[in-house]
Structure 1
Amino acid sequence: MSKRKIIYQGEPGANSHIAVTQMFPDDEPVASETFHEAFAALTEGRADLAMIPIDNTLAGRVADIHHLMPESDVYIVGEHFLRVNHQLLAIPGATLATLKTVASHPHALGQCRKSIRALGLTPITTADTAGAAREIAEAGDPTRAAIATSLAARIYGLNVLRSEFEDAAHNTTRFVVLSATRRDARPEDAPVLTSFIFKVRNVPAALYKALGGFATNGINMVKLESYVDEGFNVAQFYADIVGHPEDRNVKLALEELAFFTSYLRILGTYKASPLRDLWSLSQNGH
């Protein structure tokens, strides 16, 4: 049986690479330079699945993905939570005293903002964490550091000057698994999540009315985010709910939602990650 190709954004050693190996240990991770390239590889059949970060507990949503998802003909078929451990990396011989700059992906820099400030380093934005590690390895400059993974340190021959460099212990990224074909979970696979996007009609209290059915039918909406259209008139929303569209209460809520919306597209119904409850408990101090 041939291995499936799971595409991710970044270079080998990136957090997305680690997420792929955790969820799909028997398949082949495939690096791509940009999110656009990852989506294109998926829709053109050059990859079987894509592993894409969508949210982080410190840095918030990954903006590119929330704009690419509605425009792309892809479906969410799974989720994965990755506890992100950032390492401060430098070439052999460098020390904290020699460092002047630190490079990484904007989200990684944001997740380590306090630690960077404490060391008096100048942050430099790069395309991804592993790419930053590769660049400082190639430069051989003891004044330059990178924020990346321990895997990247091993791949590029760098030393870890400080581990767990992130500002908070709960630093976790949620990834979604994307497919070019719809592969919905079954109602009996519960707990499942259903993700969808919708546009409300341009009428007073449209969002309140559109979401009312979820409250009256006892449905847990775990995520709701908005986008604004080009004319700043009608908002588009992305939502995650707990439940299957074939469940009676979910069906009723979606019917009520459709009545108050001009556009509704279900992005996928998929099994909740077993790590979701563990992550939720850790956020509540249990």
Structure 2
Amino acid sequence: MDNLDEIRNRIDGVDAQMTSLFEQRMELVREIVAYKTAHGLAILDPTREEEIIRRNASRVSDRDIREYYVNFQKEVMSLSCDWQRRLSRGLRVAYSGVPGAFAYIAAMRLYPGAELIAQADFEQAYRACERGEADVAVLPFENSFSGEVSSVTDLMFSGTLYVNQVIEVEAEQNLLGLPGADKTQLRKVYSHPQALAQCTDYIHSKGLEAIGVSNTATAAKQVAEMQDSSCAAIGTAEAATLYGLEILEPRINSSRTNTTRFAAFSRMLRLDKENRRKMGKHFILMYTVKNEAGALAQTLNIIGAHNFNMCNLRSRPMKELLWNYYFFVELDGDVATDEGSSLLHELAPLCDRLKLVGSFYTR
């Protein structure tokens, strides 16, 4: 019998062949899309996909692994369909809010030229990407002033998407009102609750009634539509331009270093070993620990033993289980290494659930 290293080397050889064949297959998919587009044919053909899976499965002589092959083939077909959709219509990016919102700005900077799809809230943007209606969802997950965006953190844990890029957007909050409005006559101010929290000092000093809405751009749109000079919004300069408002006072946020981190979620986990100058600088793990004494401490010790710098650790309640928590850990380093693989392998026995949420660089 061959030793373990020899077997692994042979597996590496097979993987290299599969990589080449995968590239060839996706290039042929590109040719199919070009042909179908030119001839006005439907891009997807579910009947043919089922036929291919049945035919190829019948070629697997080992019955014990035939079911695994079917799952493998379905995943390949799913990737091909995603690729065909993207080639046929271009990149589609979902975000929460309306044009002018911070998420809109983040999406524009990450994906210039992409089709931006507005969604009513964070979850709808996330689910649109899960369902394949969008290729990417851009959502805020942390603010330097008000902390984590808890609903997005929960989606990270419970959902199926991965974080592959992060961008930091300076959250410059401005007081927006109708053109010519008198600041001294303002009574109400509308914005997202986090934006209101970021401007608490200003709001209190002016004696304004703070009213929360779904996002900052929606607040600007609402104030523009109400045409009430006693009402203002807190939002971006872009929102003021889009909705015909005037910046009554710039930069009213309490902190002058107020920055929001936005994550780009997609259906595939990118562990790009050939582009490490960009990829893999940071990664996020989320996990629950077994109900054993010292289990959490052991997970933290393992992280330290593998020389990964833990730059963020926090807990969140699991809504479906009373008094149970999951942990969010952000680390500096490259998980797509032998050290990263060893880390995940050693953590697994201590965790009821362990999820690599993403490996990314920050723009």
TM-score, normalization by structure 1: 0.90
Unaligned runs of 5+ in 2: 1-86
Structure 2 residue 290 is the aligned partner of structure 1 residue 201: yes
Residue 182 of structure 1 pairs with residue 269 of structure 2:
yes
- The offset of 1:188, in angstroms, is 4.5
Q: Determine helix, strand or coil for the equivalent of 1:79.
A: strand
Q: Larger C-alpha radius of gyration, 1 or 2? A: 2
Shift of the alpha carbon at 1:183?
Answer: 2.6
Describe the superposition over 1:105-124 as per-residue Cα deviations: whole angstroms up to 9, x where unpaired: 00100111111111111100
Q: Which moved more, 1:216-225 or 1:99-108?
A: 216-225
Matched, 1:258 2:348: yes
Distance 1:227 1:129 in 2: 26
Matching residue within 214, 225, 244 for 2:303: 214
Which shows bigger deviation, 176-185 or 155-164? 176-185
Change (3 A) 1:204 1:187: farther
2: distance between equivalents of 1:219 and 1:145? 46
1:232 & 1:171 partners in 2: Cα distance? 34
Give 2:242's aligned residue.
155
1:214 shift after superposition: 1.4
Structure 1 residues without counterparts, runs of 5 or longer: 275-286
After superposition, the Cα gap between the structure-2 partners of 1:188 and 1:138, relative to the gap in structure 1 and judged at 3 Å, is closer
The corresponding residue for 2:219 is 132
Distance in 2 of aligned mates of 1:182 and 1:255: 18
Displacement of 1:133 = 0.6
Secondary structure, aligned partner of 1:97: helix
**Would the alpha carbon gap of residues 233 and 97 (structure 1) be closer, same or farther in structure 2, given more than 3 Å must change?**
closer
CA distance in 2: counterparts of 1:47 and 1:233, whole angstroms: 35
Residues 40-61 of structure 1 show CA distances to partners (whole Å, capped at 9, x for unaligned) of: 2111111111111000011111
Higher deviation after alignment, 134-143 or 249-258: 249-258
Coordinate RMSD, CA, aligned: 1.6
C-alpha distance in structure 1 between counterparts of 2:166 and 2:340, whole Å: 20
In the TM superposition, 1:41-120 aligns within 5 A as 41-120=128-207
TM-score, with length taken from structure 2: 0.72
Say which structure, 1 or 2, has more relative contact order (CA 8 Å, 6+ apart): 1
Deviation at 1:233, TM superposition (A): 4.6
Which residue of 2 is the match for residue 246 of structure 1?
Answer: 336
* Kept in 2: contact 1:86–1:164 (CA 8 A): yes
SS in 1 for 2:185: coil
Counterpart of 1:81 in 2: which secondary structure?
Answer: strand
| 8 A contact 1:132–1:147 mirrored in 2 | yes
How many residue pairs get matched? 273
CA distance in 2, matches of 1:246, 1:45: 26
Higher mean displacement: 225-234 or 147-156: 225-234
Identity of aligned residues (%): 31
Q: Provide the secondary structure at the position in 2 that maps to 1:146.
A: strand
Supply the distance in 2 between the matched residues of 1:160 and 1:141 (Cα, whole angstroms).
15
- Are the aligned partners of 2:288 and 2:354 in contact in 1 as well (CA < 8 Å)? yes
Find the counterpart in structure 2 of residue 280 from structure 1.
none
C-alpha displacement at 1:70, in angstroms? 1.6
